[in-house]
Structure 1
């Protein structure tokens, strides 16, 4: 069968690059490039793909054996001393999270949670996909405002896959000598690729934010190029995650490289209700009559804000700082300026239903007229039943 000239040119280019890598002695880059070729040729040249895959697996086996021998025969996760450091500050470029005792499933909308669960399943059943010539999601970017659960989700993904989470500290990567930043970034990414981990590039826009500095633009362009190449060559066995609070600052070319975009937003009322109950923990039974009120008050807040508000309530209750209804009033007063008029009315009705406050007190707290409260919630509690 005569191949098209374009196809021949592509094959020649691939094997010329492979020869170049072999001549340079870059064994890890060779393995990564072989993995890319296996994926590329599975459909159009399956026999060639099988051969390349055999060479790749043999190379990986030899690399794993030598790595184990160098560490004394016992494979283990690197200690912090083994991680690449910034030569100027001696800061470790990678932080490790592998204690997942307190990591629960993230409180996310059902459609986003399904997306994340699918990514996890793809990696759990990676070999099944490989048999059909399909790669799992190798990279994903997590987008959303602060406090909505992006980092927690990354930890939960790593926990679900039984792998440590490595976080690339971009503050450490950004050397005081900007010309060295590219070397820092490449060293950290190469180190992560050679281990079976989930890597998170947290606040990836930290690099993009500084692109407006004309004096540094050349180096920053090189940093983006490094990341683009690494996302393209990330191995199927690993998972590369990135997180950003400012998607508008991320280079458009980088968006196209990620296999998946996971969009986070402030939690809906169902998620806030679940969060309030989860964060109350052992005090849930005590605050149960106030849960609906707390959900209304905290609606539209980030999960971190919800957790902070509930922690404040629990501290006040534990120290007997004030009666529960007064602690709830304090929480209301902290956020009520952000409530819309319909939300204030809904809050007033819920407070009236609790029977803990007179309509006068509810009116003072919410700013809703007593006649309006009476119209929607019925008569005020009898004298003596609540705080006046």
Structure 2
């Protein structure tokens, strides 16, 4: 955001705040203040702190939940009517609004087919219901961190033309256990009333096995409450859940969800596709090392792949370093884990990508004579002019 746009945003926010201050509903002022605290917490922490102090000293407490549970239109729009914790006044829901555009998640064909089926059912919900067929109401996404669970949930919401609401565990999990149940009910009630797409991220934190002796009775009752809410979830909305630790989730919860989607570490084809996507405008400069990187990053989560690619792009631009030289340490680390036969297979695969034989020999330890025997003569290095062009374009 430019400085001019930032100033304009601040002016609009405080003009709205002034209009609410002279209006008939003081609680709207509190809601607006809560929104401004969230908005400026990073960019203007001092301002956010002063607004937070004003919010905490306010004595307007009584009308909060009544106002929040209504779906009527206000000056601030739907975001400001989201449920909040009664004590901290922090929102119980985080919002991903990707309606301006979103890249599709990189998924296996099986997973993509399942995700597309949910979108298709939700878009044709009324047609299904007219034939007495209920659409998918819920799904749970299971897999290690960084493999696309949250992005897939965002993609579903984007395809359906809605923002994604995410349960904010840090706010919902109150230090007062009884308040956690109230916060959860407020979130579910509000989501159902607005036909929302709601994601229970890290659901294992609030739906742990009730057989766990380490948990107190209040937390076990919380699991029962969640099960009841999932059972009562209407077909008008879509309920999603995600977990990195399926072994911690209460078995009864699995039966409540219509579908289970399992995300695994990416297959090599997805890794290479991710690398090409994350390089974006500088892909051409790195073209000859992309096969190297896809091998070196095999089995790594896509979020970590993105971090590696971003680091390589920064270094190539700022240090004026050859992309091959940047990629070599990663690839060498990978190659050292292979046995002799696997290194030969790797060498021949790299030869097909037109990487020079001397580079392949340094990487794999396979002699140039052996590479030449199976793959033919070494290609001529190319692409340095492309790198120069990329550096000019990126500056």
TM-score, normalized by length of structure 1? 0.72
Partners of 2:245 and 2:79 lie apart in 1 by: 32
Contact kept in structure 2, 1:173 and 1:184, CA below 8 Å: yes
Shift of 1:299: 2.0
Distance 1:382 1:105 in 2: 36
More helix by share: 1
Q: How many residues align?
A: 314
Displacement of 1:93 in angstroms is 1.2
Matches within 5 A, 1:291-330: 291-330=290-329
- Mark the CA change 1:346 to 1:320 in structure 2 (over 3 Å): closer, same or farther: farther
Change (3 A) 1:150 1:215: closer
Q: 2:39 aligns to what?
A: none
Q: Deviations over 1:136-162 (max 9, x none)?
A: 100000011111100000000000000
- Cα deviation, residue 236, structure 1: 0.9
Q: Structure 1 residues 236, 214: closer, same or farther in 2, change over 3 A? A: same
Tell me the residue number matched to 2:60.
none
Q: Which has the larger radius of gyration?
A: 1
Which of 363, 366, 389 does residue 365 from structure 1 map onto?
363
Aligned to 2:97: 98
Aligned residues: CA RMSD:
2.9
* Contact in 2 for aligned 1:140/1:241 (Cα 8 Å): yes
Partner of 2:223: 224
Matched, 1:77 2:75: no
Distance 1:355 1:159 in 2: 40
Give the Å deviation of 1:376. Answer: 4.0
Number of the residue aligned with 2:142: 143
- Note the C-alpha offset of 1:293: 2.3
Contact residue 357 and residue 368 of structure 2 kept, 8 A: no
CA contact (8 A) 2:147 2:265 kept: yes
State the partner residue of 2:59.
none
> Structure 2 vs 1, CA of residues 175 and 124 (structure 1 numbering), >3 Å: closer, same or farther?
same
1:156 maps to which residue? 155
2:277 maps to 1:278: yes
Encode CA deviations 1:287-342: one digit per residue, 9 max, x unaligned.
Answer: 22222222222222211122122212211222244112101213324655665665
Q: 1:168 to 1:119 in 2, by over 3 A?
A: same
SS of 1:241 mapped into structure 2 = strand
TM-score with structure 2 setting the length: 0.71
Compared CA separation, residues 209 and 323, structure 1 to 2 (3 A) = same
SS of the residue corresponding to residue 144 of structure 2 reads coil
Per-residue CA deviation, residues 16-54 of structure 1 (Å, 9 max, x unaligned), is xxxxxxxxxxxxxxxxxxxxxxxxxxxxxxxxxxxxxxx
> Aligned runs of 1:44-59 on 2, under 5 Å?
none
Matches within 5 A, 1:206-217: 206-208=205-207, 214=213, 216-217=215-216
| Structure 2 SS opposite 1:285 | coil
2:95 is paired with a residue whose SS is: strand
Q: 1:311 to 1:202 in 2, by over 3 A?
A: same
2-structure distance, mates of 1:212, 1:91: 32
Q: Write the distance in 2 (CA, Å) between the matches of 1:67 and 1:130.
A: 27
1:178 offset after TM fit, Å? 2.1
State the shift of 1:227 in Å.
1.2
CA distance in 1: counterparts of 2:133 and 2:196, whole angstroms: 21
The answer to which of 263-272 and 125-134 deviates more is 263-272
Evaluate the alpha carbon distance shift between residue 117 and residue 171 of structure 1 in structure 2; reply closer, same or farther with a 3 A threshold: same
- Aligned position for 2:245: 246
| Counterpart position of 2:124 | 125
Partner Cα distance (1:160, 1:382) in 2: 46
The residue number in structure 2 matching 1:26 is none
